Amino acid sequence: MSFEEFQFHPHIIAGIEACGYTSPTPIQREAMPPILAGRDILGLAQTGTGKTAAFVLPLLQRLQAGPRKKVRALIVAPTRELAEQIHENISTMAGHTRLRSVVVYGGVGKPGQIKKIREGAEIIVACPGRLLDHLNDKAINLREVEVLVLDEADHMFDKGFLPDIRRIMKHLPNQRQNLVFSATMPTEIRHLAEEILNNPAVVQINHTQAVTTISHVLFQVTKENKTAMLKSIMAQEETTTTLIFTKTKHKAKSLALHLEKSGHSATSLQGNLSQQKRQQALDGFKNGTFKVLVATDIAARGIDVSGISHVINYDVPDTVEAYTHRTGRTGRATRTGEALTLASREDGSMIQSIERTLGKKMIRRNVTGFVAEACDLEEPLKARGERPIRKKSAPAGPGRNKRTRASSFDFGIPVPAQRR
Ligand code: AMP
């Protein structure tokens, strides 16, 4: 299938070409026809599937006809990074249309944003808090909005933005097209979708469809050896642009400093940074000044850096959704990528859940200088009162611990010099 079938305006086709897209991704194939027909949409898809173009291209097609220099589309996103990324995508896709988008979020001055809108933008991409500020100041008029897009609605909920969203909607006309995108569907989002959407077309793109170009690799390691193993992996694998995830802000910062001291061009992105520092870290990562970015889940939301070769889970995420969000940042659309996960004993049950969602086992890999010492999943299962699945034991061999069980979940530990 090609983009021609959607009969986009030639100016929009020029934008698609500028992006380098030759054929639509699954979400684009499924979501664009109902959006072009003016229907409401509930899109269940994660970042990395091409969902931005799935709503932006039909939106541009609609705005291409009709009045200019008034705000006709509002896109709400939970983070500045995502808002900035959507705005940048629109700028490229709309490059030949003379349609203009303005991005609105906190942490930067208000007057510049208002000025740009008053100069005649048709699209506003906004984070909820700052948008409400402008609405309360009566600085923005949304009465002519024809299309509302809520992107990453599940993260809006995570961040406590749903009351703000409901307040924002009071400023919109009742008659409009509504597009809601979310990777997951917690009850609160289901309720919100029911409130907002009118007879929506539901488009669902599976996690596995989104990540087909990614290899998922597991390294089993004791907690104490994670940093040593990470450095060995980075020395051995051909990592170019690497995004590393940690559980805490503190760890993101200290790990980036540690990697920097070991000769990597690394920086961190975590909640404690000022807007200016965040932007510096992101820009540096995008333009290649930093090859390694260490981030927490929250800080990394919405990062769109093309060509990320490796996503490394230094810490296993708390949920399967977080895993798919993290790893969706590599292997995007047409590229391939590697998602490497360092897991230790207590991560056993989460790894099982991730593998269930992926529908396959992660590839087990080890690092030279570390031997696999086995462990298994019995403990977490027993603790929950479940029966472990037993497999035949492998014979204990040199370098293997006698307590080993074959199905098990191995740890990599460095081989002490005297045992080598
Ligand atoms: P998104 O899910 O919107 O964040 O998009 C993920 C990545 O896929 C971005 O880097 C897009 O530029 C890219 N992308 C979107 N649509 C296509 C397409 N049809 N062909 C190739 N790449 C695409």
Domain boundaries, the chain: 3-205, 214-383
pLDDT tens track for 2-46: 899 999 999 999 999 888 888 888 899 999 999 999 999 999 987
Determine the atom of ligand 1 nearest the C-alpha atom of 23.
19
What's the CA-to-centroid distance between 33 and ligand 1, angstroms? 18
Beta carbons of 312 and 237 less than 8 angstroms apart: no
For residue 169, what are the contacts with CB-CB under 8 A and spacing of at least 6?
Answer: 148, 196
Residues of the chain scoring pLDDT < 50: 208-211, 333-334, 373-420
Residue nearest (by alpha carbon) to ligand 1 atom 10:
306
Asked if residue 227 has its Cβ within 6 Å of ligand 1, the reply is no
Determine the atom of ligand 1 nearest the C-alpha atom of 306.
10
Asked if residue 43 has its Cβ within 6 Å of ligand 1, the reply is no
Residue 404, both tokens: 């080993």
Asked if residue 332 has its Cβ within 6 Å of ligand 1, the reply is yes
Asked if residue 305 has its Cβ within 6 Å of ligand 1, the reply is no
Nearest residue to 265 via CA among 229, 236, 294, 300: 294
Asked if residue 48 has its Cβ within 6 Å of ligand 1, the reply is yes
CATH no., domain 3-205? 3.40.50.300
SS3 44: strand
> If you ran DSSP here, which 8-state letter would residue 382 be given?
H
Residue with tokens 């995830």: 245
pLDDT at 338: 84
pLDDT at 144: 97
214-383 matches 3-205 in CATH topology = yes
Residue 299, both tokens: 């800080």
Asked if residue 46 has its Cβ within 6 Å of ligand 1, the reply is no
> If you ran DSSP here, which 8-state letter would residue 221 be given?
B
- Alpha-carbon span 345 to 400, nearest angstrom: 16
Checking DSSP bridges between strand 123-126 and strand 41-44, what pairing results, if any?
unpaired
What's the CA-to-centroid distance between 267 and ligand 1, angstroms? 25
pLDDT tens track for 93-106: 999 999 999 999 99
- Alpha-carbon span 222 to 9, nearest angstrom: 56
What's the CA-to-centroid distance between 209 and ligand 1, angstroms? 14
Nearest residue to 63 via CA among 130, 1, 124: 124
CATH architecture of 214-383: 3-Layer(aba) Sandwich (3.40)
Asked if residue 134 has its Cβ within 6 Å of ligand 1, the reply is no
CA distances from 177 to 89, 132, 173, 248 (A): 21, 21, 10, 39
Checking DSSP bridges between strand 73-76 and strand 411-414, what pairing results, if any?
unpaired
The backbone torsions φ and ψ at residue 180, rounded to the nearest 5 degrees and listed phi first, read: -120, 125
Question: Is the full-model pTM beyond 0.85?
Answer: no
What's the gap between Cα 84 and its chain centre? Answer: 14
Residues paired with 313 in a beta bridge? 245, 341
Determine the atom of ligand 1 nearest the C-alpha atom of 25.
19
pLDDT at 412: 37
- Alpha-carbon span 309 to 306, nearest angstrom: 9
pLDDT at 175: 96
Determine the atom of ligand 1 nearest the C-alpha atom of 48.
2
Asked if residue 24 has its Cβ within 6 Å of ligand 1, the reply is yes
pLDDT at 157: 86
Asked if residue 289 has its Cβ within 6 Å of ligand 1, the reply is no
pLDDT at 327: 83
pLDDT at 209: 45
CB atoms within 10 A of CB 98: 11
Nearest residue to 317 via CA among 340, 297, 338: 297
Asked if residue 334 has its Cβ within 6 Å of ligand 1, the reply is yes
Asked if residue 53 has its Cβ within 6 Å of ligand 1, the reply is yes
pLDDT at 368: 74
pLDDT at 334: 45
Determine the atom of ligand 1 nearest the C-alpha atom of 3.
19
Beta carbons of 25 and 49 less than 8 angstroms apart: yes
